[in-house]
Structure 1
Amino acid sequence: MKLSQLIQDLPFLEKRHFADIEIAGLSSHSGEVKPGFLFVAIHGTKIDGHHFIDNALERGAAALVVEREVPVAKKVPVFKVQNSRASLSRLAARWHGDPTKEIPVVGVTGTNGKTTITYLLGAIFQAAGKNPGILGTIGCRYNGINLPNAHTTPESIEIQRLFREMKTAGVDVVAMEVSSHAVDMRRVEDVFFDVGVFTNLTPEHLDYHKSMELYFESKKRLFVQLLPRGKGPKRAVLNADDRYGMKLIDAVKEVPVWTYSTMAQSKWDFYAREWRSDLSGTQAVIATPQGVAEFRSPLIGAFNLSNILAATAAATALEIPLETIVRAVAAFEGVPGRLERIENDRGIHVFVDYAHTPDALKNVLGALQNLNPPKILTVFGCGGDRDRAKRPIMGREVARLSNVAVVTSDNPRTEDPRKIIDEILPGVEEGGMTPGRDAFVEPDRKAAIEMAIAMAKPGEVVLIAGKGHEDYQILGTEKVHFDDRETAREALKKNIP
């Protein structure tokens, strides 16, 4: 692509040494630059790409986008911009032909529930005869292809490339998780959304956002700035059960809003008139603008009912018939690592879940507690190099809603696993548990899972929380293979007294 075509919509502040050369590709990582590439220097949270301009030039960069004046060893076109990340997004979209202008896109944001809702939407779209793509925490899925992601929402170059690949492969609708980091770092700046879904907001990523209000402001941008730019009819789908969802209801002015609630209140657009849940699943009578329907789902708990309501509203916004939605929800068996049941012949109800925030643990454990099992044993830990303030809160929630807690390692990363556990334990004790009596410490995650399963009796519930679908553990800076589901199955096969 000619440089003049690529920068056509780029709001640069100044340019130097312009020549309408042929550009061979884009990159914001100097190590990935190839001859003829345009290199975008980004000031990241840890590394400043401006320090690697010489490296990019040595590798053949033919043009540069920068945020500040920097010495450039070669005479190549240089464009100074106000925000390199936003510029990278625009350039990536331009490079790939703005694929999201050609595909309906549902963006799902919030602390918890994003993955389940996008997977539910994928099942609903498929039942409606569509060819869906899903983009999020577990990866990118379309046409039977599963591609892993490094982030919940990939970088803008990757996003636009994936959308173009999906469009070329015949995908005709996409459900996408939108993280607060992605909005804040302008990764989705040039994704044209048709529907935006807000699930909830609870303390998470505060090591990055610094406060709940800044975290909320990041989420709000999707609805007040990005969604209104979309093509055709647009719709915001907002959770009326969440206080930040209520704030959004007041804040969203430029697109029509649909609300959803698990409460039987007719003032909301989608709500559960009545519902019940047990270990076999959930049944609900749901009122919608298209009528009332009885839903059945293998998913359990109020939080999953909320996910079903959100997916129903988003699918309805894209004109999927209600009867198709009901049929798809009934057939949907769940998401890998989201309250995933580990089948066994020992009569123990073992679940693996991704819950790694206080609110997610409260939701999952509350749902399990409402099923009245004789005992709940929870295995959990907290990630290293992440928000430390939530550690005792997670401990308190587990102690409050479980009968037995086994505190272990999650992804300790570069922190000492024992020190992370020491920061969890005060919350466990505050929640009413006593170390050595009903709270146990086992830093080795495999041994911790084996301990909980060995203690469990038929009819009791074992919840293994924190890692869900992940098939690795991060120790130091190294990823090693580890899968909670595999470990649980192996433990269940052992003849443990």
Structure 2
Amino acid sequence: MPAQSSPHALRPTTPPSMPLQALLDLTGATVVTAAPTQVVVTGIEQRSNAVLPGDLFAALPGASAHGARFAADAIAAGAVAVFTDAAGAELIGEVAVPVLVREHPRAVLGELSAEIYGHPSDRLRIIGITGTAGKTTTSYLVEAGLVAAGLATGLIGTIETRIAGQRVPSALTTPEAPQLHAMFAAMVEQGVQAVVMEVSSHALALGRVDGVRFAVGAFTNLSQDHLDFHADFEDYFGAKRKLFAADSPVAARTAVVCVDDEWGTRLAGDLAAPITVSTVGAATWQVAGPVHTVGAQQEFTAAGPDGELTVRLRLPGRYNVANALLAVATCAAAGVDAEVVAPALATVDVPGRMERVECGQDFLVLVDYAHKPAAIESVVATLRGHLTEAGHGRLAVVLGAGGDRDSGKRPLMGAAAVQGSDLVIVTDDNPRTEEPAAIRAAVLAGAREVPATDRGEIREVGDRAFAIADALAWARPGDVVLIAGKGHEVGQEIQGVKYPFDDRAAVAAALEALRARPTAQTDSEDLTVS
């Protein structure tokens, strides 16, 4: 079992051994304090509370504080050297370990981490999946295909990290470079052959995947998100493009691009020889004929370079057809027979992605991670189509927007939710440090801009548990209730504190209460209706 330096950090059981002088040569850094004679580095870490004896501590400038302020703690924990910039060296002062100084140290952190751990990604088939929506679902589908082909796999993503069957919750969609290369080294040690990982735009922009050798890169789509971090859509797209562009140090050897939106089409047009995927037009891999749905399950024919094959899915929604087709094409690009991959997709469920919560109720309850306007629009359209096909039933949506994130998407989320829904209840998501009522007001403003003739009822219930209970009390047999935004998450962050909260558990508790009190009504004090 890999040694752990913190709840979310995995390392190989046999530490590496790297002379500090070799790292000086690699980075071009200079030493401003103690000489590096005989110093051997056995790991690298940029979090002082996760340092192990023998580590090189990467003291980098951060958004709120310089990592050098924590150098004393790292040295006390056993760091044998510090890697920083000139400002960091000044903060550190005189210490008993070598301090390596380089301008823009983050620029070489990935390659430095890869070097310390012996370039483990060179010994793995790394598949990176990027895009706004669908990364997690596509990752799970690709992993299922690889496992069906008999490969030992690793998975790194939003929900969890898995190494040879071990599950570890993910702190970030894509870990920082020191943790990522340590994970790869642990995977190599345990016989993993292929790794599927989500690659966020933050990771690409901040160099978290630097030093990784990607065998295949896959692109899902692009829609509004993270514009609190990126300057604009062009900047957002530019970050995603790094996984594919020939002039990027992390460019995948093979690119698989879904061209169902304008950004995918543009990306494919920028590349020399991409493998393209489309559910609506001509591409290397495309959907041949209609998509058949039975309840929440789907079946379609995928047409690829070597012919056609049938793909069945437990996951509803046209966007999941795109995810599945992308998964088949990605596995094929990684050298796996598509005929082996396709049957495996029929078994896949993804936590918090259109996840059913079944507690004996006579209506459908789904928990989904949709928290972007395009994703909400797609999910609502899918569920409305399900009800239309059934010939009866109404749709309720419970959603909120996260605080300290892209505020521009909030009214768009509200508008997307009400178009096609019979009831929308706007509630709190993760307010973080923002005023919850202000976030709800922005979502409500977008919802109320939709003409009353084109939408259903709108309510505001700030307490998320009450909001869920209100929607369930509203539901009748044959209806659908969608709890959107948090998906697999098991906490709600309010003013720096993460309180236990799981939408699935809240649904179960509310349904139990409804059974005990059949005529019960939500007693929230902040319920408003429009």
1:131 to 140, 145, 152: 152
1:106-151 residue CA offsets vs partner (Å, 9 max, x unmatched): 0000110000011001111111111111100001013331101111
406 and 447 in structure 1: CA distance in 2 versus 1, 3 angstrom threshold? same
Whether the 8 Å contact between 2:43 and 2:117 is mirrored in structure 1 is no
2:103 to 73, 82, 97: 82
Task: Tell me how large the CA RMSD over aligned residues is.
Answer: 2.2
In the alignment, what sits opposite 1:294? 310
Cα offset for 1:93?
A: 1.4
Cα offset for 1:388?
A: 1.1
Secondary structure of residue in 1 paired with 2:242? helix
CA distance in 2, matches of 1:60, 1:346: 56
In the alignment, what sits opposite 1:492? 511
1:35-82 residue CA offsets vs partner (Å, 9 max, x unmatched): 543222211222222344455455554322222253331364333323
Is the counterpart of residue 329 in structure 1 residue 345 in structure 2?
yes
2:427 to 408, 416, 421: 408
In the alignment, what sits opposite 1:448? 467
Secondary structure of residue in 2 paired with 1:249? helix
419 and 230 in structure 1: CA distance in 2 versus 1, 3 angstrom threshold? closer
Q: TM-score, normalised by structure 1?
A: 0.93
Given residue 299 of structure 1, which amino acid in structure 2 is its aligned partner?
L
CA distance in 1, matches of 2:161, 2:112: 22
Structure 2: 5+ residue stretches without partners: 1-16, 520-530
Cα offset for 1:398?
A: 0.6
1:71-101 residue CA offsets vs partner (Å, 9 max, x unmatched): 3313643333233223222222122211110
Whether the 8 Å contact between 1:194 and 1:227 is mirrored in structure 2 is no
CA distance in 1, matches of 2:79, 2:503: 44
> What are the residue-to-residue correspondences of 1:265-344 with 2, within 5 Å?
265-266=281-282, 268-274=283-289, 275-332=291-348, 334-344=349-359
How many aligned residue pairs are there? 489
In the alignment, what sits opposite 1:167? 188
CA distance in 2, matches of 1:226, 1:57: 38
Secondary structure of residue in 2 paired with 1:292? strand
CA distance in 2, matches of 1:391, 1:230: 33
Instruction: Answer with 183-192 or 59-68: which moved more.
Output: 59-68
In the alignment, what sits opposite 2:274? 257
Is the counterpart of residue 28 in structure 1 residue 46 in structure 2?
yes
Secondary structure of residue in 1 paired with 2:41? coil
Q: TM-score, normalised by structure 2?
A: 0.87
In the alignment, what sits opposite 1:179? 200
Instruction: Answer with 12-21 or 95-104: which moved more.
Output: 12-21
1:213 to 234, 251, 266: 234
CA distance in 1, matches of 2:78, 2:395: 59
Whether the 8 Å contact between 1:399 and 1:433 is mirrored in structure 2 is no
226 and 43 in structure 1: CA distance in 2 versus 1, 3 angstrom threshold? farther
Instruction: Answer with 11-20 or 341-350: which moved more.
Output: 11-20
1:224-270 residue CA offsets vs partner (Å, 9 max, x unmatched): 15877679xx31000111211111112223xx31000111x33x101
Whether the 8 Å contact between 1:12 and 1:79 is mirrored in structure 2 is no
Identity of aligned residues (%): 37
Cα offset for 1:214?
A: 0.6
In the alignment, what sits opposite 1:246? 265
Structure 1: 5+ residue stretches without partners: none
4 and 284 in structure 1: CA distance in 2 versus 1, 3 angstrom threshold? same
Given residue 26 of structure 1, which amino acid in structure 2 is its aligned partner?
I
Whether the 8 Å contact between 1:398 and 1:405 is mirrored in structure 2 is yes
1:142 to 159, 163, 166: 163
Whether the 8 Å contact between 1:108 and 1:177 is mirrored in structure 2 is yes
Cα offset for 1:319?
A: 2.1
